Amino acid sequence: MHDPHDQQPQEWLRRLNDLVAQRMSTPFEWGAHDCCLWAADCVQAVSGADPAASLRGTYSTARQAMALVDELGGMAAIGALCGAEIPPMGAGPGDVGLVANEDGRELLGVCMGTVWLVPGSDGMGAMAFGSAVKAWRVAR
């Protein structure tokens, strides 16, 4: 008889956890490891699709990034590229959320169950699960 507790973790979850482990100490860098590319990298790990493929390599400064965010319709519009909108409290590992930092700046974070991970100057930072105002389900 099959024991459901004897299952291997789903492949997408292993890929996501591997990416998180690789990036935990990676500092924030515009155009390389910022919140939008972090979210896109996680979407790619989970689903195989890269919602930022056409944006990679197109900016490297805060000013260029902000211009691109404006051109794309804001952070919520960028988040929507990651999947179908869901209630933030319904997010699960690998889903993308719109959170605000202590300065009120909108960021994209990736749900890891009880927190949203976002890139920071010293590596990945955790934001409270209840801090998301929007969320998007990433296809698994």
Q: Per-residue pLDDT averaged across 85-113, rounded?
A: 95
Q: Is the pLDDT of residue 5 over 70?
A: no
pTM assigned to the model:
0.91
56 contacts 65 by C-beta, under 8 angstroms: no
- pLDDT tens digits for 21-77? 999 999 999 999 999 999 999 999 999 999 999 999 999 999 999 999 999 999 999
Q: For residue 8, what pLDDT band results from cuts at 50, 70 and 90?
A: low
The stretch 66-93 carries a mean pLDDT of 97
9-137, CATH topology level: endopeptidase fold (from Nostoc punctiforme) (3.90.1720)
- By percentage, how much of the chain surpasses pLDDT 90? 89
Mean pLDDT of the chain: 93
Stretch 9-30: mean pLDDT, rounded? 95
pLDDT, residue 3, reads 41
Domain residue spans in the chain?
9-137
